[in-house]
Amino acid sequence: MTFNDIFKSSFLENVTSITPLDMALVLILSFLIGLFIFFVYQKTYSGVMYSPSFGVTLIALTMITSFVILAVTSNVVLSLGMVGALSIVRFRTAIKEPLDIAFLFWAIATGIVLSAGLIPLAVLGSVCIGVILMIFVNRKSHTNPYIVVLALNGTEYEKNAVDYLKGHTKKCITKSKSARKGSLELNMEVRLSGDDTDFINELSDMPGVESAVLVSYNGDYMG
């Protein structure tokens, strides 16, 4: 085996299989679409604590997926090795918002489609997904669920407080009740008929009501 035979491999051929123009085009488009995904994520986020790092991760994930798939499509052997390498990767970060999963898959899918050369599909698909998310996620509803936490000085005041809530809300359901000697705590799920929350002030001034708290929640009652 001579010195030249050592370097006679498909590695040097694969270097020129993807042109610099292809690399630049894929990375630039993946960055731009990643920015669009980040923008949609900012406008549609409805959680409690916004994480800017997750938005930047969407941009990076789009670009990383693009050049990984671009490399895989140029070499069948490399694609098999990549499957084995990625199969040992484990992610243990908890996804708190269900919608975040959609954004992660959106970024990954965009990188795959761009690297496959389906640029119109990547662009039009991202625009359609972004418009749909902007419309449905940002749609305001006046029937969002709320929890009213009532602290009463005795069980004899329960009926008046519950009747008042039922008269000022569209829906009122008792979720939990904690009774102690001389005190009672109620957790009530209510649906408001509008944006007016002044009724909670009047409720707190009723006889026997020690405190009244109105809390918005996402409908997943945790007991």
Per-residue pLDDT reduced to its tens digit, 36-51: 999 998 888 776 667 7
pLDDT tens per residue, range 137-147: 766 555 667 88
Q: What is the mean pLDDT of residues 53-74?
A: 82
What are the structural domains, with CATH classification, of the chain?
3-137 (no CATH), 145-216 (3.30.70.260)
Do the beta carbons of residue 63 and residue 34 sit within 8 Å?
yes
In terms of Cβ atoms closer than 10 Å to its own Cβ (0-12, 13-18, 19+), residue 82 is middle
Sheet holding 183-191, edge to edge: 171-180, 183-191, 145-152, 209-216
* Distance in angstroms (rounded) separating the CA atoms of residues 128 and 113: 15
pLDDT of amino acid 81: 56
Return the pLDDT at 222. Answer: 41
- What is the per-residue pLDDT across 159-170, written as a single tens digit (0 to 9) for each? 888 888 888 888
pTM of the model: 0.60
Residue 100: which H helix or E strand, with range? Answer: helix 98-115
C-beta atoms surrounding 139 within 10 Å: 7
